[in-house]
Amino acid sequence: MKKMFITRVFNPAFAGLTLLLGGVLALQSAPATPDARLKWWQEARFGMFIHWGPVSIKGTEIGWSRGAQVPVEEYDKLYLQFNPVQFDANAWVRTAREAGMKYLVITSRHHDGFSLWNTRHSSYNIMNTPFKRDVLAELSKACREQGVKFCIYYSLCDWWHPDYPLGSPGGRSKKPSPNMERYVEYMKNQLAEIMVRYGPLGIVWFDGEWESPWTAERGEDMYRYLRAMQPSLIINNRVGKARKGMEGSSNRGLFAGDYDTPEQRIGRYQDTRPWESCITICQQWAWKPDDKLKSLPQCIQTLARCAGGDGNLLLNVGPMPDGRIEPRQVERLKEIGQWLKRNGEAIYGTRGGPYLPSTNIVSTRHGKYIYVHVFDWQGVEPVKLPPLPRKVKKASLLDGGLVEWSQNNSGITLQVPFVFRDKINTVIKLSLDGSAMDLATIPLAQAADVKKEQTKPKK
Ligand code: JFZ
């Protein structure tokens, strides 16, 4: 069983070899072939995250506002009024599908302990609200019917549960008589219930692992337990203790599940281990009235930046207390989907690179093609790329439109007439005389960049 993990962790011997032979064997630097189990998910590139629960009635943040903006006693009674009568699982899944999202991850149970399904292991669940409908049952069915992979978020910390040692606000209080062993049993029972009833699942997206009661050993045990039930299951790195804060990457050598989870930021280029940025479409995870909505360029460029860095984007929506996703968010998601209808070839099934993401240019690749994504292309200057150890046979737009191009020893020059540009992201497809997949990464000179980063302070 141990072996399963070893393939996913850092191998110093291999890294040394890469360093030594990097210049000679380009293959050593090519994107790592992922586990076959992760293939569908890596190819999907884009998923919908959903944070939802009785807290949407208040419009404050899920879990975190308990005992902070909302008194504990009040928060814990919100479910008695939770009646999202306009909830329509088919409509949610249609919204995801029309946005071009291939999977959906919903908060089955967040840090506040409320269960969105008919669980027999806790009465603090959706069946004891006036709504009395099993959200996971309806949503998993709609996902299956519409061909979207159904996945769940599940918090390892539960500030409500008396057996879990820490409580609100934000894990900063202590429960009087915790029992962590019994709590872990509770979680295993709940997860088994979900997997048997609503499975197979695409992903179990754990969270809350940073608190002290959770350990790497518990993480490995949980991982094994779930994979034994469903071998094809994908589990994020928050099942273990290896995550480096909000950056989300995993400390080398530590148990870290299947993939990394940068939060509210775009992951850096990483083609040796899969990753997925989780980012809110507004600012709060759970619904908040008049929350600031991200612009269409922000959404599309964020998705392209993730793909260009060889990662996925899990874009979050927080549905309203009446059960609907806010119309303006639905509209934004539709617009993203329209862009993807034209440009999906440059996102789905691609890997990041070979050009490393820069301020206004990222690249993706598939077979003998490189897709150059140019953001906010307004000036008359052509795009200049550094030399590529392949011959470009053709450069075109995805609709077949012509691109003026040239290649010589100093690099590649690309020009697209203004009328054919996409102001948000112009994608140019380069057809090569050989594979794009075994090319080592190529940094882009700042010269190829315009504006922004020079004026934006580096984090
Ligand atoms: C976590 C959750 O707490 C959050 O509610 C959301 O579900 C997100 C996807 O994952 O995000 C965190 C985790 C830790 C901190 C802040 C947000 N923290 O330690 O400050």
Asked whether 209 lines ligand 1 (CB < 6 A), one says no
Per-residue pLDDT, 446:
54
Asked whether 50 lines ligand 1 (CB < 6 A), one says no
49 CA → ligand 1 middle, Å: 13
Asked whether 278 lines ligand 1 (CB < 6 A), one says yes
263 CA → ligand 1 middle, Å: 8
Asked whether 205 lines ligand 1 (CB < 6 A), one says no
Mean pLDDT of 286-312: 98
Tens digits of per-residue pLDDT, 113-147? 999 999 999 999 999 999 999 999 999 999 999 99
Q: pTM (2 decimals)?
A: 0.91
Tens digits of per-residue pLDDT, 228-263? 999 999 999 999 998 777 777 778 778 899 999 999
* Domain 36-346, CATH number (from 2.30.130.10, 3.40.50.300, 3.20.20.80, 1.10.3720.10): 3.20.20.80
Pocket test for ligand 1, best of 56, 206, 236, 263 (most atoms within 8 A of CB): 263
* Closest protein CA for atom 10 of ligand 1: 207
Q: Spelled out in words, what is the top-level CATH class assigned to the domain 353-454?
A: mainly beta
111 CA → ligand 1 middle, Å: 9
Q: Of the given ranges (33-37, 55-59, 335-339, 382-386), which has the lowest mean pLDDT?
A: 33-37
Is the pLDDT at 174 greater than 80? The verdict is: yes
Per-residue pLDDT, 252:
77
Mean pLDDT of 253-279: 94
Tens digits of per-residue pLDDT, 68-110? 999 999 999 999 999 999 999 999 999 999 999 999 999 999 9
H/E/C letters for each residue in the chain? CHHHHHCCCCCHHHHHHHHHHCCCCHHHHCCCCCCHHHHHHHHHCEEEEECCCHHHHCCCCCCCCECCCECHHHHCCHHHHCCCCCCCHHHHHHHHHHCCCCEEEEEEECCCCCECCCCCCCCCEHHHCCCCCCHHHHHHHHHHHHCCEEEEEEECCCCCCCCCCEECCCCCEECCCCCHHHHHHHHHHHHHHHHHHHCCCCEEEEECCCCCCCCHHHHHHHHHHHHHHCCCCEEEHHHCCCECHHHCCECCCCCCCCEECCECCCCCCCCCCCEEEEEECCCCCCCCCCCCCCCHHHHHHHHHHHHHCCCEEEEEECCCCCCCCCHHHHHHHHHHHHHHHHHHHHCCCCEECCECCCCCEEEEEECCEEEEEEECCCCCCCEEECCCCCCEEEEEECCCCECEEEEECCEEEEECCHHHCCCCEEEEEEEECCCCCCCCCECCCHHHCCCHHHCCCCC
Is the pLDDT at 447 greater than 70? The verdict is: no
Tens digits of per-residue pLDDT, 7-56? 333 333 333 333 333 333 444 467 888 789 999 999 999 999 999 999 99
> Which residues of the chain form CATH 3.20.20.80?
36-346
Pocket test for ligand 1, best of 246, 312, 315 (most atoms within 8 A of CB): 246
> Which residues of the chain form CATH 2.60.40.1180?
353-454
Tens digits of per-residue pLDDT, 415-434? 999 999 999 999 999 999 99
Per-residue pLDDT, 459:
38
Is the pLDDT at 267 greater than 90? The verdict is: yes
